[in-house]
Chain A
Amino acid sequence: MTAPTAIDTIRVAFQADLGAVVTAQDLQSVRDRYLGRKQGAVAALMKSMAGAAPADRPALGKAANVLKREIDAALTQRGDTLDDTARPVGSVDVTLPGRALPFGRRHPLTLIREQVESIFETMGFEILQGPQVEDDYHNFEALNMPPDHPARDMQDTFYLEQPMPGGGEGATPPATLLRTHTSGMQIRYMESHEPPVRIISPGLVYRRDTPDLTHSPMFMQVEGLLVGEGITMADLKGTLVSFLQAFFDAGTRVMFRPSFFPYTEPSAEVFISCVFCEGTGCAVCKQTGWLEILGCGMVHPAVFEAVGYDPERYTGWAFGLGIDRVALLKYRVEDIRLFYDNDLRLLEQFPH
C-alpha cells in the first residue's frame, strides 16, 4: 500500500470515528487514537515513512503533516460544538455544601482590646498586665486617694472578706479588694522603673455597680501612662486624637473638656463625634452629637511623689478607656451584659 493511500484510509476512518463522537470522553479517545504520540495512527504513519524511497519522503511528510493539522482542527471544532449539558463521568454537584470545619471566634472584647493594643504598640507603648486583686495602696492611696476621700465614691469597690496573697511582683502587701481600675499596675511599674515610661495596661476591673444596659460589675479597661521630660498636655491631645482617629475613623472629631480625677491635674474628659448620627444628634448621644469616650489628664505630682519621681523634672499623662463602652459603640451592641453571657449567636458574628 502506498503512502497516499494510507493517508486516505486514515482520513476516511477518522471521519467515521468523529461522526460517532457524543461526549467529551468520546472526543478524547478519538484524539488519542489518531494523534496519540505513541499509539496514534498519525504517529504510526510517520514511522512507516522511514521505509519509503528517499525521493518521496519530503512529499509524503508534507501530506502527513497536512493530515495531522486537518484532524486536529476537526477535533477542536467538534469539541467546541459538544453538548455542554452532558455531565462528565465522575462529576459532582458542586453546589452541595462543603463540610463544616471547626471555626471558633475570639471574644469581641478581646478584638477591641487587641486593636487598641496594636495602635498603641505602633506608638511605642509597652503592654502590661497586672493583678485583679489589689491592695488599697496601689489601687487608691498612691493615686492620691487617701482613705475617706470622697472620690472613692466614684469607684464603688468590692472588698475581700479576708486578705489574700497579692498578685504583684516583688514584695507586695496582701490584696484586700478587686481593682477598680488598672492604675495599680502603673504604680507598680513606676515603682520599679525610671522614666521614660510609655505603657498601657489592659484588663478586667470591678466596680460595685448594679448591672443595667451600660453598667456591669466587671468590665474591661485599658489605661495608658506616658512619663518623661517635657511631656505636655498638647502631647496628650495629639496622642489621643491619633488613637481615636485610627480606631474609629480618620474623620472622627475629638473634644477635650475639663473634668476631675484625683490622680490627674489638669484632668479632662474626651468626647468623640457620635458614631451613630455623625454628630447631628440622636438618642444615643442625647442629641448632643458627642459621646464620652475616655478620661485623662496630666499625672498629679502626688502620684509621682508616691513612686519617687521628681515632679519638677518629669511630667506625664494618663488616660483610661472602657473597652466595653467602645465595643458597645463600635459594634452597636445594646446591652453590656451580653458580653458576659457568651451567647454564641452573638459571638459568632465577630471575625475570627
Chain B
Amino acid sequence: MSWLRELVEVPVGPAGAGAGGPTDIADLADALTMRGFEVGAVEPWPTADGDPPDAVLDLEITTNRPDCLSVFGIAREVGAIYAAELRPPEVEPTVASAADTPISITITDPALCPRYVGALADVTVGPSPRWLAARLEAADVRPINNIVDVTNYVMLELGHPMHAFDYATLAGPEIRVRRAVAGERIRTLDGIERTLQPDMLTIADAERPQAVAGVMGGADSEVGDTTRTVLLEAAYFNPISVRRTNKRLALSTDASFRFERGADVSAPIAAIARARHLLAVIGAGRPRGAVVDCFPGPPDPIVVRLRHQRIGHLLGQTVDPAFVAPTLTRLGFAPRLETEGESPTWQVTVPSFRVDVHREEDLIEEVARHHGYERLPTTFPALTRPAQAAGGWRARDQTVRRLLTGCGFSEAITYGFVEREAALAMHVEASDLVALSNPLSEKGAVLRPSLLPGLVDSLIHNRRRERQDIRLFELGSRFRQGAGETPSLAVALTGAAIAQHWTGPERTADLFDLTGALTRLAEGFGAQVAFEAGTMRALVPGRTARIQLTCGAHTTAVGWVGQLDPTLASRRGLPGSRDVYVAELDLRPLTLDAFGRLRAAPVPRHPSVVRDLSLEIDDALPAAQVRGTIWAAAGPTLVSVREVDRYQGSGVPAGSVSLSVRLTFRAADRTLTDAEVQTATDEVVSALEQAYRAKLR
C-alpha cells in the first residue's frame, strides 16, 4: 500500500472517504475487485509508529492485462477509480550525449526483438537497503544483491522486466540480439546447462549467448560480489517467441511471464532511467555514459474510434459522455473529441502498454468497468422468432433414460478415456483406438471405443462396496478411428433380478433379464428387437447374442448382449463369482420416428381364443425359428405366440425339449369359431412336424 501511495495520490481512510476516496484498505480492495482485479487477500504489513496502516494486496491479474503486473499499473487503475493524480516515480534526468556511447547494439531479427535498450553503470555490489529488500519480499521476490534487486524493483514497480550483465565478463562492448545457432549451449542462472534451437532468441556478445532473451540470463555473466560495471538491459521481446522458448525449455520466469503476455514497447527507456536513478539513490552505483536505444522501427500508436452511441448499444444503458473521456484519460488513453453533441465520438489513441486494446469494444469494456457492471439495468431480450425444438437426440436420450430407469437401471457417467488394455479387452482392434498424446496417466491413455470398460469398472466399484445387486446404464459418445465419435448405450447387470422377500426366495438375474430390458427398450421406441446367437470378444460363448433392431423399415445389427467373461471381470477386480451381463448398442438407428407416424388401431371388439400346444422338439433349435414357423403356418388370425414352459428331464428324450407355447387367435371382424381355430392350430402342428419332426405331447 505504501508503494502504491507513492505512485498515486489516494487518501485512504475517513478523510479520503470525504473526498470520494476509499474508507479503508478493504474498501479499496473491493473497488479494485469490482473493476476486474480480484483482491484475493489483504495482509497487514508492519509499519513504524505514526505511519498509516500498511498492507500487502494479493491481486489476481487476468492474462490480458500485463500492464497491471506492476504497482504503477494498479496505481493507474486506482487513479481512475478515485479521480486521483498519478505520481510517476523519480528517474535519472535524461542526458542525451550521443558522443558517449560505450556499447553498440545490433538486432538481427527485429520481428523477435523490436527494441533493445542498454546502459552501463559502475557499481559496488552489496546488500540492498532494508526498505528496498522489504518491498521485494512483500512481492515474494527474494533479495539477492543491490544490483539485481534494483532490476527486480523496477520490474515490480513499472512492470518492465530488466536484466543486468556483469560487463567485464562480456567479450567486448558489443551486444548482438540474434537467434541461437542450432546446438549452441548456455548455462542459465539456475545453473542448468541448456541447448538452444534456432527459433530461440539470445542476447549474445561477440562470441556467445549470454542470456535467453526474455526468459533468463546466463550464469557466466551473472552479477556477483566482484562485479564493478553492469550492463543494464531493458528490451521488448516478441510474446509468441518468448512463450515458445519458455515452453520448450520448461522455464517460466517473472520476466517471461510478462513478456509472453505483452510488455510495453515504450517502457525500456523509463525502466533504465529508473534503475540508474535507484542505483544512485541507494549508493550502489552511478551511470556511465549514455543510454543506447536500438529501436529500428517504432510502431505507430493504435487509434480507435469510439462512438458514445455504441457504448449504450452494447451495454443497454446510456453512460454520461462527461464520464467517458476523463476516465479513459486517467487510464492512459488519449481521447480526442471527433464529433461533439449529445452522442459524441472520439478518436482514442491507445497507450503502448495497453496491448489488449485494439478495437472499440475493448474501449467500451474500459468504460463499463469503471462505470460499474452493478449499475447496468437488467432487461430481458425479446423473442423475435419461435424457439426451435431440440434435435431428435434429446427425445431419444430422455426416452432411453425413462425406460431404463423404469427397468431398475441407474444412470452412470464415466470418463471419456480409459486404459488401453481395458479398451482392447472389449470389442475393438488396436488400430481402431484413438490415443491421447498427453494423457494424465495410463488409466486414461485412449478415448473409449466402447462404454463397457468404464461401466464395468463402475459396476465393480459398487460390487467392492458391499453392493450385490447392481443395474447400471450409460448413454454417451464412443470414439473409434474408423467410425469417429458415435452415440452409444451400455447396460450392465449383476445380482438379484428379484430380491429375497418374505414371500419367496431371491431369483438371480440371468441373460433373459437383460434381453427382456432391451426388448422393453425397443418397445418403448415402437421398435422390435431380436437376438441371434453369436460370439464376441469379452463375452461368454453360448451366452452371447447379436442385437438386431428393427426400427421403421430398417433392420440393423446394433450391438451385442451377453455374459461378461468371468476371467476378464475378475482381472478388472470383480469379487465373488456371480454372473455379470452386459450389452452395448449403437444408438443411431434408435429413433422415435415410428411414433411420429402412429395411427391408433381399433380396440378389438371380438374375443380372442387361446390354445396351448406342448411339443417335444430338438433342444438345439432356436425358439425364434420355431416361433417363425408358427407365425408362417397359422394364418392371419394368430395374434400372439408365447413360450410358457420349457422342460427337460424325465419323460423327455435326451436331445429334446418339451416346449409349451400359448397361441392366441383373434379376428377383427368376427368371433372365431372353434373350427377355424382348430384348423389354424392343426396347420401349426403339421408345419412343426414337417419342419422339425416335432411331436405333440
Contact = CB atoms under 8 A, between A and B. Distances in A.
Do A and B pair up? The answer is yes
Interface of A: 96-97, 99-107, 109-110, 114, 121, 124-129, 131-133, 148, 150-151, 153-154, 158-162, 164-167, 175, 178, 196, 198, 204, 206, 208, 210-211, 217-218, 220, 226, 228, 230-235, 237-239, 241-242, 255-260, 262, 265-268, 298, 300-301, 315, 339-345, 347-348, 352
Nearest to A299: B361
A105 B364 contact: no
A343 B377 CA distance: 45
Contacts of B125: none
A344 B379 contact: no
A265 B410 contact: no
Interface of B: 33-36, 38, 62-65, 239-240, 243-244, 260-261, 313-317, 359, 361-362, 364-365, 368-369, 373-374, 376-381, 383-391, 393-394, 398, 401, 404-417, 434-440, 444, 447, 458, 461-462, 465, 467, 470-473, 476-477, 479-481, 483-485, 498-499, 501-503
Given A107-B413, A148-B243, A164 B436 contact: no
Contacts of A165: 481, 483-485
Given A165-B484, A242-B380, A342-B458, A132 B413 contact: no
A165 to B, nearest CB: 4
B393 A129 contact: yes
For B260, B376, B472, B483, which residue has the most chain A Cβ atoms within 10 angstroms?
B376
B581 to A, nearest CB: 15
B444 A342 contact: no
Contacts of A198: 383, 387
A132 B416 contact: yes
Contacts of B471: 102, 104
A340 B414 CA distance: 5
Contacts of A126: 387-390
A210 B440 CA distance: 7
A104 B368 contact: no
A255 B38 CA distance: 14
Q: Nearest 5 CB-CB pairs, A to B?
A: A102-B408, A234-B316, A232-B316, A258-B36, A260-B62
Contact of A164 (B373, B381, B481): B481
A93 to B, nearest CB: 10
Given A100-B501, A103-B405, A260-B65, A235 B390 contact: no
B243 A158 contact: no
Given A104-B406, A148-B240, A233 B376 contact: yes
For B316, B440, B462, B481, which residue has the most chain A Cβ atoms within 10 angstroms?
B316
Contacts of B362: 265
Given A165-B484, A298-B314, A342-B458, A234 B435 contact: no
A235 B484 contact: no
Given A104-B407, A129-B393, A260-B65, 15 more contacts: A100-B499, A124-B383, A132-B416, A148-B244, A151-B64, A204-B476, A217-B417, A217-B440, A230-B313, A233-B315, A234-B315, A256-B376, A258-B369, A266-B314, A344-B462
Contacts of B401: 106, 110
A210 B439 CA distance: 11
A300 B35 contact: no
11 contacts: A97-B501, A104-B408, A158-B439, A160-B435, A196-B384, A234-B376, A234-B379, A255-B374, A265-B361, A298-B314, A352-B405
Given A178-B416, A343-B461, A99 B503 contact: yes
B436 A217 contact: no
For B65, B404, B405, which residue has the most chain A Cβ atoms within 10 angstroms?
B405
For A102, A129, A150, A226, which residue has the most chain B Cβ atoms within 10 angstroms?
A102
B198 to A, nearest CB: 17
B413 A162 contact: no
A94 to B, nearest CB: 13
A167 B480 CA distance: 11
A159 B437 contact: yes
B63 A104 contact: no
A342 B463 CA distance: 11
Contacts of B416: 132, 178, 204, 206, 218
B412 A231 contact: no
B687 to A, nearest CB: 38
B479 A234 contact: no
A234 B404 CA distance: 43
Contacts of B436: 158-161, 178
B385 A343 contact: no
For B244, B317, B365, B407, which residue has the most chain A Cβ atoms within 10 angstroms?
B365
A229 B681 CA distance: 72
B505 to A, nearest CB: 13
Given A158-B438, A301-B361, A340-B413, A239 B407 contact: no
Contacts of B385: 196
Contact of A300 (B361, B417, B440): B361
A268 to B, nearest CB: 6
B317 A234 contact: yes
A105 B380 CA distance: 35
Contacts of B240: 148
Contacts of B438: 158-159, 208
A233 B368 contact: yes
A65 to B, nearest CB: 46
A242 B379 CA distance: 10
A133 to B, nearest CB: 5
A290 to B, nearest CB: 10
B361 A96 contact: no
A237 B378 contact: yes
A164 B432 CA distance: 10
A103 to B, nearest CB: 6
Nearest to B496: A100
B437 A131 contact: no
Nearest to A256: B373
A347 B410 contact: yes
A164 B479 contact: yes
Contact of B63 (A153, A159, A175): A153
Contacts of A148: 239-240, 243-244
B368 A150 contact: no
B477 A132 contact: yes
Contacts of B65: 260
Given A167-B485, A257-B34, A266-B368, A226 B461 contact: no
Contacts of B406: 102, 104
Given A260-B36, A341-B458, A127 B481 contact: no
B405 A106 contact: yes
B646 to A, nearest CB: 24
Contacts of B62: 259-260
A51 B371 CA distance: 108
